[in-house]
Amino acid sequence: MSNATRLRRRLVEHLLAEGVLHDARWMTAFRSVPRHVFLPRFFVPAANGWAAVESGDDEWLRRVYSPDVLVVQLDDDSGLWERARYLGAQPGTPTSSSSQPSIMAIMLEELRVADGHRVLEIGTGTGYNTALLCHRLGSGLVYTVDIDPELVDAARKRLAEIGYAPSCAAADGAEGFPAGVLYDRVLCTCSVSSIPPAWLAQTMPGGLIVTTLNRPIGGGLVRIVAGEGATGHGRVLAHDGRFMPLRAHRFKPSKALEGDVSWRPTRLPMGVLTEVRSRFEFFAGLHLPGVTAARTGQSTTLVHPDGSWTRHRQRGSEFEVAEGGPRRLWEIVEAAHEDWLGLGEPGRDRFGLSLDGEDQVIWLDSPDGRIWPLRP
């Protein structure tokens, strides 16, 4: 048995232990598809940015079959890897990666595929997830699209190396796949601020779409049942998951306009917003559209493009906030938290979505309940 085979089996054991892999056919796919073929090189965090790692030794192979996300591109620039290789660690923002195998397993199982289903994958990336789909369904039923032609070309070649030939296209994934056919399932491995109507229109009525919401606060996995035309309804899933956004759905971080800082006490820790395991986080995000959070020294800052900002810090066992701009963001957080407590502390799986073209809302408990526009 080769070292790669042993490591693949160990990875499946890890996914089983995490409780994210249950279907025997997906277990077989993860044991069979060689992830290392799709990751001949990648970046790892380093003190001054990102360091380059390339194939050739046991440490590279161990990283490939670790349960970690592996970054393969920074700032949409494939040349940064070569610079990191020869010049040392490079700064940059990840723009493509091979996702954590655990979230891949969750999404593949939530897709509920059956033999004969035609699947569209948005976000080819390295091609590894595409290969898992090909192993399960056969190449002829798998379509994949990515906006980056270099990524698509590299993925197509690596898929061919191991005997897979899905339909691949370099195009804007927000528009679906250029072929113009209907799909039983759509899987998006990048996050979106709203559900592109083209996906709904290209999915068979009753078919499923699985993706993640691109929300600075309160993102996560959703599964949608397509209706006629560009309509659908769905649920926010109990499992959480975060992905890089579809390129057309990226948002620009805002800068705080602070002025004089005056602190006041608050009973809420910042973790109610920034920890993905927080039950309040999803509800809070509905009240803070467009607000981003960033760590600055010993405090965390919330910022909105309208110039509103909040800085939060801990002093001993106490919490303090300072606020500025046209709105008091932390007062919004505090009011939303009281509202959330009064509603019985709903977790993300109590929320659903109703979609009709560009008219898209999130609701609590039922479509007739409380609703919020679906926006970042």
- 3-class state of residue 162 by DSSP: coil
Distance (Å, rounded) from C-alpha 175 to C-alpha 337?
37
> How would DSSP label each residue in 34-71?
-HHHH-SEEEEEETTEEEEEESSSHHHHHHHTSSS-EE
Pick the more confident residue, 257 or 65: 65
Range of weakest confidence among 223-237, 256-270, 279-293: 256-270
pLDDT class of 1 with cuts at 50, 70, 90? low
pLDDT at position 261 is: 73
pLDDT class of 166 with cuts at 50, 70, 90? very high
- 3-class state of residue 168 by DSSP: strand
pLDDT class of 80 with cuts at 50, 70, 90? low
Interval 151-177 mean pLDDT: 95
366 labelled catalytic: no
pLDDT at position 320 is: 94
pLDDT class of 97 with cuts at 50, 70, 90? confident
pLDDT at position 250 is: 42
pLDDT at position 254 is: 43
Name the active-site residue from 96, 97, 98, 99. 99
pLDDT at position 234 is: 96
pLDDT at position 93 is: 74
pLDDT class of 248 with cuts at 50, 70, 90? very low
pLDDT at position 73 is: 77
Range of weakest confidence among 30-44, 235-249, 286-300: 235-249
Mean pLDDT of the chain: 88
Distance (Å, rounded) from C-alpha 25 to C-alpha 47?
40
Range of weakest confidence among 27-41, 129-143, 153-167, 249-263: 249-263
Q: Are 235 and 213 in contact (CB under 8 A)?
A: no
Which strand (E) or helix (H) includes residue 273?
helix 271-274
Interval 59-88 mean pLDDT: 74
pLDDT at position 76 is: 62
Interval 32-58 mean pLDDT: 83
In this predicted structure, the answer to whether residue 176 has a pLDDT above a threshold of 50 is yes
pLDDT at position 87 is: 60
pLDDT at position 88 is: 62
User: Phi and psi for 72 in degrees, rounded to 5?
Assistant: -115, -10
Range of weakest confidence among 62-71, 82-91, 180-189, 268-277: 82-91
Which strand (E) or helix (H) includes residue 371?
strand 371-373
pLDDT class of 27 with cuts at 50, 70, 90? very high
pLDDT at position 251 is: 44
Percent of the chain whose predicted confidence (pLDDT) is above 70: 89
Interval 93-108 mean pLDDT: 84
pLDDT at position 256 is: 46
In angstroms and rounded to an integer, the radius of gyration of the C-alpha atoms of the chain is 22
Residue 24 burial (CB count, 10 A): 8
In this predicted structure, the answer to whether residue 70 has a pLDDT above a threshold of 90 is no
Pick the more confident residue, 91 or 157: 157
**Nearest by Cα to 223 from 353, 346, 122, 104:** 353
